[in-house]
Amino acid sequence: MDIQLRKTRDQKDAYMFMKRLVKIFGEPTVLTTDKAPVLLCVFKKLQKDNYYTHTKHCTIKHRNNLIEQDHRHVKRLFAKSSGFQSIRQVSRIIKGIETIQAIYKQR
């Protein structure tokens, strides 16, 4: 979502975003992305900088589609609005949507 808030979505922005993710949440075992060339370059660059050293980068379309399906509600809101105004707004919306989805998944 942080990438959606930026005016440009280039290699520098992706690098800063992925670096911030690993600092805040720790290193994941698997990182699933689409096959965008920018993301592949950034992932390799971060590995050279000793981030994501034990992380497997997965670009399998099926796994990425599962993740995209969970975020379709957020994408619909983003498309209807003129975009999110802040990280705080994005965070609140995602928490609300995840809570509602958790309630429906329990049924």
Contact 74, 97 (CB under 8 A): yes
pLDDT of residue 1: 42
Split at pLDDT 50, 70, 90, the class of 2 is very low
Cα separation values, 69 from 62, 73, 74, 86, Å: 11, 8, 10, 23
pLDDT at 34 over 70: yes
**pTM reported for the whole predicted model:** 0.57
Split at pLDDT 50, 70, 90, the class of 43 is very high
The span from the CA of 41 to the CA of 73, in Å, is 29
pLDDT of residue 104: 76
The token pair at 22 is: 């690993």
The span from the CA of 84 to the CA of 2, in Å, is 10
The span from the CA of 61 to the CA of 105, in Å, is 24
Residue pLDDT, tens place only, 78-96: 666 566 667 777 778 778 8
Amino acid at 90: V
